[in-house]
């Protein structure tokens, strides 16, 4: 008898450990340790679409909730089409500190990494 294993599917959104630790620190500083990190995509930016991160206190009816390293991430259904499989990292380098987006759906992205096109 043989069994086939299904390939592991990537989560809709994942955070690196560094990104999750940074988000938790930000939430603690704001006094909202149980908040959600909202991930969205909006038109604009030098490549056509921009990543948006925000703090949310509750999920909406059309939100998907993903947990990564203890951080609850909200993604609306429209944005989910553009970010499926994305990893959000955080770099605390002196010159380039900030969130980094590794999006397998992006065909091109700008030099700053905050906008992309599909």
What pLDDT score does 1 carry?
47
Per-position pLDDT tens, the chain of length 118: 444 444 457 789 999 999 999 999 999 999 999 999 999 988 765 557 788 999 999 999 999 999 999 999 999 999 998 899 999 999 988 877 889 998 887 765 655 555 555 6
Rounded Cα–Cα distance for residues 68 and 80 (Å): 16
Q: What's the predicted TM-score (pTM) here?
A: 0.80
On whether the CB atoms of residues 59 and 73 are closer than 8 A, the answer is no
Among 76, 92, 72, 83, CA closest to 24: 72
């Amino acid at each position: 008898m043989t069994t086939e294993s299904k390939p592991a599917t990537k989560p809709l959104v994942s955070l690196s450990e560094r990104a999750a630790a940074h988000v938790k620190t930000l939430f603690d500083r704001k006094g909202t340790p149980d908040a959600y990190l909202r991930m969205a995509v909006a038109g604009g930016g030098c490549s056509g679409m921009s990543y948006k991160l925000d703090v949310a206190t509750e999920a909406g009816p059309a939100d998907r909730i993903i947990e990564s390293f203890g951080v609850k991430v909200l993604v609306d259904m429209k944005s989910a089409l553009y970010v499926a499989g994305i990893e959000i990292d955080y770099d605390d380098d002196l010159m380039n500190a900030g969130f980094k987006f590794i999006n397998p759906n992006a065909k091109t992205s700008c030099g700053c990494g905050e906008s992309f096109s599909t």
